[in-house]
Structure formats: C-alpha cells, structure tokens
C-alpha cells in the first residue's frame, strides 16, 4: 500500500526513527441519506478503499507532534483547549482534546500522516484523518473506548475543537464500516446494521465522479441548512425532523409559512424515507432498483435542499444519459463528488460521457474511478 510506505517515509524523515505502528482509516461514499445525520435520521455510507495512514510512536506524556506528506510543517503541542491549535493540525489536537475530555489518559505520540483520500472533495478526508489518529491513540494507550462510542468523540473534535457544525455520518463511516458492506446507521440511537453490498455479484459497479468544482461558501451554507432544519423542528414541536414521517409530511408542511423552510423539511423527510427504501431493496436483493431512489435523492438535493452546483448536476445527467441506473451527489454539497450506479464494464463509456459534457460547458475535467466497499479504521501493523 503506497500510502503506508509514504507515511513511514514521512515518519523517518521527521523523527529519524521507525514508527511503532501504522493505523489506517478510510474516506467514505454516502450511498444515500444526505444532511439527515444532524436531523437524527438515517444514513447509508460505505467506506472507500482510499485511506489515510497514521504512522505513530509513543512520546513523553503530554507531548504530541504531527507531520504529514500534505504539508511541510510539523506541529507540536501539549495539552490544549479548543482554538489553541489551528489549521490542519487542529484535527489531530482536537482528537487528543476530545479523548481527554471524555476522561481518557491520552498517550503522548509522534505522528506522521499520509493520505490517498482526495482532500476537500466531499469524501471525508478530515474524518479519515481523525479516525486514523483516534484509533492509533486508543490502541497505543490501551484505552477502553467501545467502537460505537468512538465516532461521537471524533465528531466532538470536529464540532468543538475545529469548529465545524457537522453531524456524525463521516466519523461513523470511517470507524464502523466493514468491507463489502454498507452501514445502515440510525443517527439518533447509533444502532447499526451491516448491509451486504457486493455490486460485482450483481454485474454492477459504483463510479465516483469527482466534479473538481471549487467549494464555495461551504461552511456558511452548511450551517444555514442545519439552522433551518432545527428551526423547523421547533415550529413543528418535534425533537428533530426525523420525527416527521412521509405520511405526516403534508400536514407538517401546511404548518410552515416559509417556502424555503418547507422545501428543506421536504428534503429531509423524504431523504430519510429513501434511506429506508434503499435498505429494504438491498435486503431483498433488488439492487438494480436502488438506482431510481438515488436519482430521486439527487433531485431533492438540487431542488429542495439547494446544495448542488452545475458541475454535479451535469455529471448526474450525463451519467444517466450514458446508461447509469442512477446517480446522485454524495456528501455535504456545493461541489464534491457524484456516485453513479452503473453496469460493470461501463465505467469507461460513462467516464467519457461525463468528460464530454464537462468539456462542452468549459468545466475543469472530472476525475472518475470505480470503488468497492472497503474496511473501516484499523491497525495495519503494530
């Protein structure tokens, strides 16, 4: 695994020694269930084969240093509070802080990071980084943190230390996904069901299309969507929008005055149902039929939640016109990646169709590759 070799080399270069162990955590593709996590609803991600690797050795108590292949600087810190370490290293300092804040004796560490998860593409490169470091520190310190409690610690690092108001989807995917499975997660109870997700057996594949569109206003727009959902839940008198079912949707919408808010609510309520529908189809072995559900999810993100951009809409349309069974943007939105459910063997023609559509519109060329469901965070050598 090249990325593991890269992490070891970065470790040697920075610390002049061999790491004691290597830990890896994946990025994710969310099959369906977008922006439902912070509404306490349902999501269905699977782990990417692309991973972030942390090469780690013990350091004296209360001392942490981190370097990486994606930046020149190494950053050292002691026990810190949110806001004290900034930039990319805040994700690492945040994990140390959140573990300590949860009552754990976090071991000092020297860390070198390398990643093959594309950065800033909506594939959870930050959750992969957090999860690799979290898993390394838990293992190295012999800390007693059950798997189902780990995502919330990583989420707290991101929410409180880094200051991004994200839900629990990405960290759950990176930590709890299993190879060959999609993770059906209830974001209220944190209960999971591992859903077999072997597309090759059905003659199908997932093509990831990175729109390479520049992210714009991501943080503000994400926060605005979250606020709108929370305000709607308060008006409707429910704890979270998860508590509104599709059968109750019309009545709920009739109680909201604001058209934008009504559309936000309609996305969340119908998206939760699409996750349940997708899970039911996968459980029944009716895999091809999920395509239409994925495409409906895209239309909802485009028209109701308004989180897509021209590049992702064009990728979805071009993939479907080229024969994809379904396609949708995956992740938080405003750029990022599209996933297309395609016939195995049609990756090249679908890619060409999307490239052609991009060229016609003068967009930067997309990057496309097929993915299978990989494993969650794990030690790779110790």
The neighbouring-strand residues paired with 57 are 110
| 167 lies in the binding site for ligand GAF (CB under 6 A) | yes
How many alpha carbons fall within 13 Å on the CB side of residue 162? 24
Q: Does 130 bind ligand GAF (CB under 6 A)?
A: no
Residue 16: CB atoms within 10 A of its CB come to 7
Give me the residue whose beta carbon is nearest to ligand GAF.
332
Q: Which of 170, 178, 272, 304 binds ligand GAF (CB under 6 A)?
A: 170
Size of the site for ligand GAF (CB under 6 A): 11
How are strands ordered across the β-sheet holding 192-196? 42-43, 181-186, 192-196
Among residues 112, 7, 110, the alpha carbon closest in space to that of 60 is found at: 110
Site membership for ligand GAF, residue 272 (CB under 6 A): no
Interaction between residue 151 and ligand GAF (CB under 6 A): no
Would you call 79 exposed, middle or buried from its count of C-beta atoms within 10 A (0-12, 13-18, 19+)? middle
Mention every residue, 6+ apart, whose C-beta is less than 8 A from residue 236.
244, 252, 255, 256, 265
Q: For ligand GAF, give the closer residue by CB, 30 or 115.
A: 30
Out of 6, 72, 148, 170, the active site residue is 170
User: Is 6 a catalytic site residue?
Assistant: no
Minimum distance between the CB of residue 308 and ligand GAF, rounded to whole angstroms? Answer: 12
Task: Return phi, psi of residue 31, to 5°.
Answer: -65, -45
Asked whether 41 and 229 are in contact (CB, 8 A), the reply is: no
Q: Among 169, 232, 340, 377, which residue interacts with ligand GAF (rule: CB under 6 A)?
A: 169
Contact status: 34 vs ligand GAF (CB under 6 A): yes
Determine, following the binding rule CB under 6 A, whether residue 279 of this chain makes contact with ligand GAF: no
Biggest CA-to-CA distance, the chain: 66
Cα–Cα distance between 161 and 77 in angstroms, integer? 14
Return the structure tokens found at 123. 């594939």
Span of 32-40, 259-267, 311-319, 344-352 interacting with ligand GAF by CB under 6 A: 32-40
165 vs 285 by CB, closer to ligand GAF: 165
Residues 330-359 that bind ligand GAF (CB under 6 A): 331-332
User: Which residue's structure tokens are 């750029």?
Assistant: 335
Map residues 79-118 to x or -, x wherever contact with ligand GAF holds by CB under 6 A. ----------------------------------------
3-class DSSP assignment, residue 107 = coil
Q: CB under 6 A: which stretch of 103-111, 167-175, 241-249, 311-319 binds ligand GAF?
A: 167-175
Question: For ligand GAF, what does the binding mask look like between residues 36 and 65, x meaning CB under 6 A?
Answer: -xx---------------------------
Tell me which residue of 262, 250, 263, 265 sits closest to 303, measured CA to CA.
263
Q: Residue numbers of the site for ligand GAF (CB under 6 A)?
A: 30, 34-35, 37-38, 166-167, 169-170, 331-332
The residues annotated as belonging to the active site are 170
């Amino acid at each position: 695994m090249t990325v593991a070799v890269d992490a070891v080399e970065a470790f040697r270069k920075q610390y002049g020694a061999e790491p004691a162990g290597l830990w890896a955590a994946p990025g994710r593709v969310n099959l369906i269930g977008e922006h439902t996590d912070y509404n306490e609803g349902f999501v269905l991600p699977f782990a990417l084969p692309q991973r972030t690797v942390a090469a780690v050795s013990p350091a004296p108590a209360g001392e942490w240093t981190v370097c990486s292949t994606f930046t020149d600087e190494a950053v050292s810190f002691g026990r810190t509070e949110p806001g004290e370490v900034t930039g990319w290293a805040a994700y690492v300092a945040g994990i140390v802080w959140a573990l300590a804040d949860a009552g754990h004796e976090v071991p000092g560490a020297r860390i070198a990071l390398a990643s093959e998860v594309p950065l800033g593409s909506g594939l959870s490169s930050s959750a992969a980084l957090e999860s690799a470091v979290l898993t390394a520190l838990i293992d190295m310190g012999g800390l007693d943190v059950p798997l189902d409690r780990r995502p919330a610690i990583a989420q707290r690092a991101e929410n409180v230390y880094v200051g991004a108001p994200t839900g629990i989807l990405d960290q759950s995917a990176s930590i709890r996904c299993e190879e060959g499975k999609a993770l059906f997660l209830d974001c209220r109870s944190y209960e999971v069901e591992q859903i077999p997700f072997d597309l090759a057996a059905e003659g199908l594949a997932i093509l990831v299309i990175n729109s390479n569109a520049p992210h714009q206003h991501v943080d503000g727009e994400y926060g605005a969507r979250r606020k709108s959902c929370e305000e709607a839940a308060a008006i409707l008198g429910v704890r979270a929008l998860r508590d509104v079912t599709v059968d109750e949707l019309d009545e709920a919408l009739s109680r909201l005055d604001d058209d934008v808010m009504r559309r936000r609510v309609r996305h969340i309520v119908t998206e939760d149902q699409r996750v349940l529908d997708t899970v039911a189809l996968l459980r029944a072995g009716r895999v091809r039929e999920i395509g239409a559900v994925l495409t409906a999810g895209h239309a909802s993100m485009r028209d109701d939640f308004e989180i897509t951009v021209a590049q992702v809409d064009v990728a979805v349309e071009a993939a479907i016109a080229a024969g994809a069974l379904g396609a949708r943007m995956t992740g938080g939105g405003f750029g990022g990646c599209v996933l297309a459910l395609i016939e195995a063997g049609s990756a090249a023609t679908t890619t060409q169709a999307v490239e052609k559509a991009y060229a016609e519109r003068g967009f930067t060329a997309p990057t496309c590759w097929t993915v299978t469901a990989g494993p969650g965070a794990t030690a790779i050598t110790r």
